[in-house]
Amino acid sequence: MTPDLVKLLKQHWGYSQFRANQEAVVRSILDGRDVAVVMPTGGGKSLCYQLPAIAMEKTCVVVSPLIALMQDQAAQLQQAGIAAAFLNSSLEASAQREVMRRAQQGAVRLLYLSPERLVRGDVLDWLKKIPLGFFAIDEAHCISEWGHEFRPEYRQLRALREWFPETPIAAFTASATRAVRHDILAQLHLRDPAKFVMSFHRPNLRYIVRECGPREQDRFLSAAIEWYGEGNVIVYAPTIKSVEETAALLSHRGLPVVPYHGQMTTAIRQKNQDAWMSGEKRILVGTLAFGLGINKPDVRAVLHLAMPKSLEQYYQEAGRAGRDGLSADCVLLWQKRDIGLLTHFIQAIDGRDERERAWQRYRTMRRFAQGTGCRHREICLHFGETPKWSRCEACDICGVALGWLSEAAVSEAAAPRVSPVRKKSAARPADRDLFDKLREWRRGLAKDLSVPAYVILHDATLEAICRRAPSTIAELCEVPGIGERRAERFGRAILKIVQR
């Protein structure tokens, strides 16, 4: 019998309808087909493999590249009443044995593993003992040498078809060019896969690119941080030194900021990320080490303080803004010296082929930064999509100007600023006091449960509660994003806050 997918969607996620192509992807997996999905950040790709795992009542093994990402996704599923677990080095041996025991009994719907662990001989042998439904490969672009984030350990996932010839494989990525998409199909030996390539156009994002003089960047950064006074912000800096200097500068001004880079201890990195995810700090300054799989919906701006090494990287990092569908700004403030830094890194690459691919990526990124074509259109074209429109009306080339980027925004005699971003992205809740009380409750609960705040409820769900002011559990269940399990767990506390 075909499971009632909308009922499951409502029960666990609190939504009454699917986003574009989600249901088609889910049904293809349930039909036992291999699947290849390219779905931009914020499109809801995780649900495409989470829902069929519940519907078929078998185990979906999810390949995920980061420990923190596995833990967050498993925690979020558990809050929604779904049996999810992960196996990685953060678990003690006894906890790992318990997860393995439950999986063998068929009590785990989604099991998260790293690619390194999955391809171990003992793990592959063990997986034959569990009721496997399908494999889901997240961040599948990491398998391709043509991709901007190639990881050799992903290459070994080719073994899955050999070890489990009858088990379907579903590959998911948010940023893959046509060459990378072909490579994913070849490397994973997908058989006549159902292919879904969504549009790369994110109309709620506004792309702004500006070349800065040596002393301009600090002024622009200060103006930006002031401008997005209530929003969450990511600032990408090119080096560890610049991350620390930028974070120290903002902190000295009394701003709620945390740094994030690869040379920090795991504990400090996790602590800083949690402080930002929970809303305790609203500004995060990081290197490229930050961001893969980050699922914070309410980021209002992503600011790059240097030119990224590729357009795919820029699209992925900038795409962490506006995942709630509200307006957000993606601003690239680059300087001439960035070109020297990028060429230095490329010249240091071993291997002629990889070095040549890096040069190609660099040339594409530079053309984008210095070009005169619509930013949204150039991104779509890069990923093999040809839009029917020539202007997006949502980038600097198409006439969008940000108040804080003008000279007036950084001079002491600044006139009152008016910009569409405030009207769109502020999206003021119907009752600001209630919204703040709900966020305060969520922050405390997240701390008690040791999970990021969004794992409990997204800001968009809190805003919907403010608009609807539910007075019963049944009314609360009708709020998008709640679902039966969350209403059961948190309903009384939420209704109490609303009634006050």
User: Do 380 and 450 fall into the same domain?
Assistant: no
**Bigger pLDDT: 491 or 146?**
491
Q: What integer pLDDT is reported at residue 76 of this predicted model?
A: 84
Helix, strand or coil, per DSSP, at residue 79? helix
Mean of the pLDDT values across residues 374-382? 96
pLDDT by residue (tens digit) across 333-377?
999 999 988 999 899 988 888 899 999 999 999 999 999 999 999
User: Do 88 and 173 fall into the same domain?
Assistant: yes
User: Do 377 and 451 fall into the same domain?
Assistant: no
pLDDT-wise least confident of 163-167, 218-222, 269-273, 406-410: 406-410
Would you say 402 and 301 are in contact if contact means Cβ atoms under 8 Å apart? no
Tokens 């990491």 belong to: 142
Mean of the pLDDT values across residues 205-220? 91
**Alpha-carbon gap, residue 230 to 473, rounded angstroms:** 31
Instruction: Flag whether 285 is in a domain.
Output: no
pLDDT by residue (tens digit) across 167-197?
999 999 988 899 999 999 999 999 999 999 9
Residue 204 clears pLDDT 80, i.e. is over it: yes
User: Do 43 and 99 fall into the same domain?
Assistant: yes
Instruction: Flag whether 238 is in a domain.
Output: no
Instruction: Flag whether 97 is in a domain.
Output: yes
Domain stops at, among 375, 392, 425: 425
* CA neighbor of 430 nearest in space, from 490, 492, 479: 479
Q: What whole-number percentage of the chain has pLDDT above 90? A: 55
Q: What integer pLDDT is reported at residue 417 of this predicted model?
A: 37
Residue 54 clears pLDDT 50, i.e. is over it: yes
Tell me how many degrees the CA angle 248-250-252 measures, rounded to the nearest 5: 65
Q: How many structural domains comprise the chain?
A: 3
Residue 164 clears pLDDT 90, i.e. is over it: yes
SS3 content of the chain, % helix, strand, coil (to 5): 50, 15, 40
User: Do 421 and 468 fall into the same domain?
Assistant: no
Mean of the pLDDT values across residues 217-237? 89
Instruction: Flag whether 396 is in a domain.
Output: yes
The one-letter code for the residue type at 40 is P
Q: What integer pLDDT is reported at residue 413 of this predicted model?
A: 36
Mean of the pLDDT values across residues 303-318? 93
Domain with 317 in it: what CATH number? 3.40.50.300
**Alpha-carbon gap, residue 465 to 478, rounded angstroms:** 10
**Alpha-carbon gap, residue 40 to 304, rounded angstroms:** 20
The one-letter code for the residue type at 175 is S
User: Tokens at residue 471, please?
Assistant: 């007075």
- Beta carbons within 8 Å of 326's beta carbon, 6+ residues apart: 204, 298, 300, 424, 425, 427
Domain with 442 in it: what CATH number? 1.10.150.80
DSSP 22-39: HHHHHHHHHTT--EEEE-
User: Do 77 and 101 fall into the same domain?
Assistant: yes
Instruction: Flag whether 102 is in a domain.
Output: yes
Tell me the HSE value of 263 on the side-chain side, using a 13 A CA sphere: 6
User: Tokens at residue 183, please?
Assistant: 């490579």
Angstrom CA distances, 222 to 235, 405, 410, 469, stand at 12, 10, 8, 38
Helix, strand or coil, per DSSP, at residue 322? coil
Q: What integer pLDDT is reported at residue 424 of this predicted model?
A: 38
Domain stops at, among 197, 221, 248: 197
Mean of the pLDDT values across residues 67-78? 82
User: Tokens at residue 191, please?
Assistant: 């058989």
Instruction: Flag whether 138 is in a domain.
Output: yes
Q: What integer pLDDT is reported at residue 2 of this predicted model?
A: 61
Residues shown for the chain: 500
* Cβ count within 10 A of residue 133: 24
**Alpha-carbon gap, residue 35 to 330, rounded angstroms:** 31
**Bigger pLDDT: 324 or 124?**
124
Instruction: Flag whether 291 is in a domain.
Output: no
User: Do 165 and 307 fall into the same domain?
Assistant: no
**Alpha-carbon gap, residue 178 to 36, rounded angstroms:** 12
User: Do 414 and 449 fall into the same domain?
Assistant: no
Angstrom CA distances, 494 to 139, 463, 464, 472, 475, stand at 35, 12, 12, 10, 12
User: Do 32 and 135 fall into the same domain?
Assistant: yes
Q: What integer pLDDT is reported at residue 171 of this predicted model?
A: 96
- Beta carbons within 8 Å of 452's beta carbon, 6+ residues apart: 72, 75, 274, 277, 278, 296, 446
User: Do 152 and 15 fall into the same domain?
Assistant: yes
User: Do 365 and 443 fall into the same domain?
Assistant: no
- 11-27 CB burial, b ≥16 within 10 A, e <16: bbbbbeebeebbbebbe
Would you say 34 and 193 are in contact if contact means Cβ atoms under 8 Å apart? yes
Instruction: Flag whether 266 is in a domain.
Output: no
Q: What integer pLDDT is reported at residue 64 of this predicted model?
A: 87
Would you say 231 and 338 are in contact if contact means Cβ atoms under 8 Å apart? no
Mean pLDDT rounded to a whole number for the chain: 87
Q: What integer pLDDT is reported at residue 23 of this predicted model?
A: 93
Q: What integer pLDDT is reported at residue 415 of this predicted model?
A: 38
User: Do 318 and 391 fall into the same domain?
Assistant: yes
Q: What integer pLDDT is reported at residue 293 of this predicted model?
A: 57
Would you say 490 and 470 are in contact if contact means Cβ atoms under 8 Å apart? no
The one-letter code for the residue type at 110 is L
Rg, the chain, Cα only? 23
pLDDT by residue (tens digit) across 89-98?
888 899 999 9
User: Tokens at residue 41, please?
Assistant: 């950040």
Q: What integer pLDDT is reported at residue 3 of this predicted model?
A: 72
Full residue range of the structural domain in which residue 302 is found? 205-231+298-425
Mean of the pLDDT values across residues 295-309? 90
Residue 18 clears pLDDT 60, i.e. is over it: yes
pLDDT by residue (tens digit) across 403-458?
888 753 447 434 333 333 333 334 455 678 898 899 889 988 888 887 777 788 88
pLDDT-wise least confident of 156-165, 291-300, 435-444, 455-464: 291-300
pLDDT by residue (tens digit) across 22-35?
999 999 999 999 99
**Alpha-carbon gap, residue 367 to 443, rounded angstroms:** 43
Residue 312 clears pLDDT 50, i.e. is over it: yes
* CA neighbor of 312 nearest in space, from 489, 147, 126: 147
The one-letter code for the residue type at 178 is R
Angle between helices 240-252 and 216-227 (to 10 degrees): 60
Q: What integer pLDDT is reported at residue 291 of this predicted model?
A: 65
User: Tokens at residue 398, please?
Assistant: 């198409």
